[in-house]
Amino acid sequence: RKEVEQDPGPFNVPEGATVAFNCTYSNSASQSFFWYRQDCRKEPKLLMSVYSSGNEDGRFTAQLNRASQYISLLIRDSKLSDSATYLCVVIHLRDNQGGKLIFGQGTELSVKP
């Protein structure tokens, strides 16, 4: 079983739609959680951190459920420019890995006019 699992998609949605991505992680000792966005053939860029209380940044809302080891990202009123691959990222601090990021394989989103 992969440490971080995401639905690879693709998710094809019309402009203005609300779309939700889910991510599960297997290590209960995981401590920090992020969503990164990666455009085609570009580097990943930090979209937002995910906090236990849930957090919102404009049209984006991230949720964490530690009991179920589950992270979500909700995008409201999706724009064409939201088309990208969304990477779920988890960190669990180990003695010898210095805060290694563990990536899901990404969920591809395509927003159509």
Partner 1 sequence: DGGITQSPKYLFRKEGQNVTLSCEQNLNHDAMYWYRQDPGQGLRLIYYSQIVNDFQKGDIAEGYSVSREKKESFPLTVTSAQKNPTAFYLCASRPETGGTYEQYFGPGTRLTVT
CB of 74 to partner 1, least distance (A): 20
Report d(CA 46, CA 61) in Å as an integer. 14
Pick between residue 18 and residue 26 the one whose CB is nearest to partner 1. Answer: 26
Residue 32 sits in the site that holds partner 1 (CB under 8 A): yes
Q: Concatenate the DSSP letters of all residues of 71-86 into one string.
A: EEEEE-S--GGG-EEE
49 sits near partner 1 (criterion: CB under 8 A): yes
Q: State the minimum distance, in angstroms, from the CB of residue 18 to partner 1.
A: 25
Is residue 71 within the footprint of partner 1 (CB under 8 A)? no
Contact status: 91 vs partner 1 (CB under 8 A): yes
To 5 degrees, how large is the angle CA 108–CA 111–CA 113? Answer: 160
100 binds partner 1 (CB under 8 A): yes
**Spatial contact of 9 and 20, defined as CB atoms under 8 Å apart:** no
Cα(100)–Cα(113) distance, rounded to whole angstroms?
38
Which residues lie near partner 1 (CB under 8 A)? 4, 8, 31-32, 34, 41-46, 49, 87, 91, 96-106
